[in-house]
């Protein structure tokens, strides 16, 4: 189930059309441990949560099946990848065009996140680039050229912390 259809406690949100079992404290511990280290073995996970390996396997299978866990990914240092320039770009769009704009933004190189927001603008986009010239091309040349985009505003990110 997409993240937008579940609450922070794992219960289905209105309109999701799918019933998901509520998460208990053990499920939340499993998710927290995997968010901290997605390479954690089932054995280590079971030991840290104080459950059997069989129970850990069963819970992991359910968390995957219910869409709570949607995948695993490596966390990387953008600077070491040569992506030293980062920005948040607010995007104002024409009414009713959010799906098309979202899809177009998702295809652009350097776009890491796209969020539909309730603010004086409609979307917030996180972009990474090698330098300011590349960032300018993404924002002014590509994002502003998407049909339905009315305007953008860019905030450079000087420093980031992962919590």
User: Which CATH number fits the domain 85-157, given the four candidates 2.40.160.100, 3.30.70.920, 3.30.70.2860, 3.40.50.150?
Assistant: 3.30.70.920
- At residue 73 the predicted structure's pLDDT band, cuts being 50, 70 and 90, is confident
Lowest mean pLDDT of 13-17, 26-30, 45-49, 106-110, name the range. 13-17
Phi first, then psi: give them for residue 66, nearest 5 degrees. -80, -5
* Confidence (pLDDT) at 84: 92
Closest Cα to residue 22, out of 71, 63, 60, 52? 63
- pTM for the structure as a whole: 0.71
Alpha helix segments (H runs only) across the chain: 25-36, 42-49, 53-65, 98-106, 132-136
* Confidence (pLDDT) at 15: 43
What are residue 91's DSSP bridge partners?
123, 152
Lowest mean pLDDT of 2-11, 28-37, 92-101, name the range. 2-11
d(Cα 63, Cα 44) in Å, to the nearest integer? 17
CATH (residue range 3-65) = 1.10.10.10
Find out whether 122 and 98 touch, Cβ atoms under 8 Å.
Answer: yes
């Amino acid at each position: 189930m997409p993240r937008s259809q579940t609450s922070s406690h794992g219960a289905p949100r209105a309109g999701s059309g799918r019933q998901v079992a509520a998460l208990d404290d053990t499920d939340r511990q499993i998710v927290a441990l995997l968010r901290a280290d997605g390479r954690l073995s089932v054995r280590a996970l079971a030991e840290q949560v104080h459950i059997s390996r069989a129970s850990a396997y069963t819970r992991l299978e359910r968390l995957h099946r219910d869409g709570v866990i949607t995948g695993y990914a490596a966390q990387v240092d953008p600077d070491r990848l040569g992506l030293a320039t980062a920005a948040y770009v607010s995007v104002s769009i024409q009414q009713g065009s959010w799906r098309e704009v979202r899809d177009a933004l998702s295809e652009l190189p350097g776009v890491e996140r796209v969020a539909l927001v309730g603010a004086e603008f409609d979307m917030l986009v996180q972009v990474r680039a090698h330098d300011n010239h590349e960032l300018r091309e993404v924002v002014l040349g590509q994002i502003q050229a998407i049909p339905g985009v009315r305007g953008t505003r860019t905030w450079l990110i000087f420093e980031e912390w992962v919590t």
